[in-house]
Structure 1
Amino acid sequence: MIENKEKAVSVYAEANPNPESMKFVLSTVLLPEGVSVDYPDVEAAANSPFAQELFNFDYVSRVFIASNFVTVTKNTSDQWVQLIPELRLFIKSYVEAGGPLFLQDPLAEQTQAVTDATGELSGDDAVISHKVIDLLENYVRPAVEQDGGNITFKSYKDGVVTVNLQGSCSGCPSATITLKSGIENLLKRMVPEVTEVVAEGVTETW
């Protein structure tokens, strides 16, 4: 079980391009740099007592946890100005009290996800997939985390890269623009074999 040992923690809310999400930045580390977890519902949060507690707020629909922040997505028309004080106080109190963040190390889960995505690939497809993963990890993730989200590699086949949108990126009105004008152009330029980038679970038509 991974617990937080800090006692004095400051928390502030930071808006991002998704109006339904809010990024809560902490003065302490929740996860190692480069590791993040995305919980689209309470069932997915079985490994995180912290996230499960956040889902107890009936307006919380998604929880994303990264190095030093938590992104909360709401499912209500209530304004963030009404919700931020309650969430900020809960996060601060929970972490300061040393409440358990995770039952098992999320790094192992993240590593397994990459293995599952690339394990059956061979030859050129495997090489291309690892190039894409490296670019997403080193060039895209740091920028996207600034907005309280993440984009992870799902699969590569016949020139098409499929990614998962996490945290504030999921359901964000500007996510498709970022995906097409930014990430797709980057991958096409750096990996010529890539012809298109699509996001799993996005309903917009490009």
Structure 2
Amino acid sequence: MTDNTTKPISVYAEANPNPESMKFVLNSSLLGEGQSVDYATVEAAVDSPFAQELFNFEYVSRVFIASNFVTVTKNTADQWPTLIPELRTFIKSYVEAGGPIFIGTPAATSAATTELPTNLSAEDADISQKVIDLLENYVRPAVEQDGGNITFKSYNEGIVTVNLQGSCSGCPSATVTLKAGIENLLKRMVPEVKEVVAEGVTL
């Protein structure tokens, strides 16, 4: 882990399209550039003491960690203005104290770690790689700005399946973003694509 004890840590909260999620941005690295880890439950966060501590707040239902921010999703009617100060103080104190973000190497996802199935035809493998490149270069940066992430899962007979993580999971506007934005882009740039569907999101 990066030694953050030599500089003060600043943390600011940034709203995103999902009203149940809040993005906390740090002036410090939590993960490698372009990597992310999404924890939907405290049980899944076995490799992240940092995420486990966040789940100790009874209103935290999901934790998404990326290069320099963490997105927290809540499951309470309490409004963010009352929750942000507590979470911001905890994150700042934890990182400044040098608390471990991960134990060992986290199972982070990135375009570089996307492995295509070996049984794909040459044509499907080529289409899949085009889709991965488009998602990484055009879609992921915008989704990351909103405190989430998108990763390629599969391509089969014109249907692209993606995983939506972080603030994108359960976001009311995810359907619009997926269909009006991502699907239209992919269909325009890769004519073989007929539809985009998502896993990891409650639509």
Write the distance in 2 (CA, Å) between the matches of 1:4 and 1:87.
21
Instruction: Give the letter aligned to residue 195 of structure 1.
Output: K
Q: Indicate the residue corresponding to 1:45 in structure 2.
A: 45
Query: What residue number does 1:4 align with?
Result: 2
Partner of 2:64: 64
Q: How does 1:1-206 map to 2 (within 5 A)?
A: 3-7=1-5, 8-106=8-106, 110=110, 114-115=114-115, 118-204=117-203
1:16/1:188 CA distance change after superposition, 3 Å? same
Does 42-51 or 75-84 show the bigger shift? 42-51
Q: How far does residue 97 in structure 1 lie from its aligned partner after superposition?
A: 0.7
The normalised TM-score by structure 1 is 0.91
| TM-score computed with the length of structure 2 as normaliser | 0.93
Q: Match of 2:176, as an amino acid?
A: I
Distance 2:191 2:87 in 1: 45
Paired residues of 2:12 and 2:25 also in contact (CA < 8 A): yes
**Offset at residue 157 of structure 1 (A):** 0.6
Q: Summarize the Cα distance change of 1:155–1:19 in structure 2 as closer, same or farther, 3 Å threshold.
A: same
Q: Which amino acid aligns with 1:14?
A: E
Unaligned runs of 5+ in 1: none
Moved over 4 A (4+): 107-113
CA drift of 1:139 comes to 0.7
Which runs of 5 or more residues in structure 2 are unaligned?
none
Q: How far did 1:104 drift?
A: 2.6
Which residue identity is paired with 1:126? A
Q: How many residues align?
A: 201
CA RMSD of superposed structures (Å): 1.8
Contact 1:35 1:106 in 2 (8 A): no
* 1:35-60 deviation per Cα after TM superposition (whole angstroms, max 9, x unaligned): 11111111221111111111111111
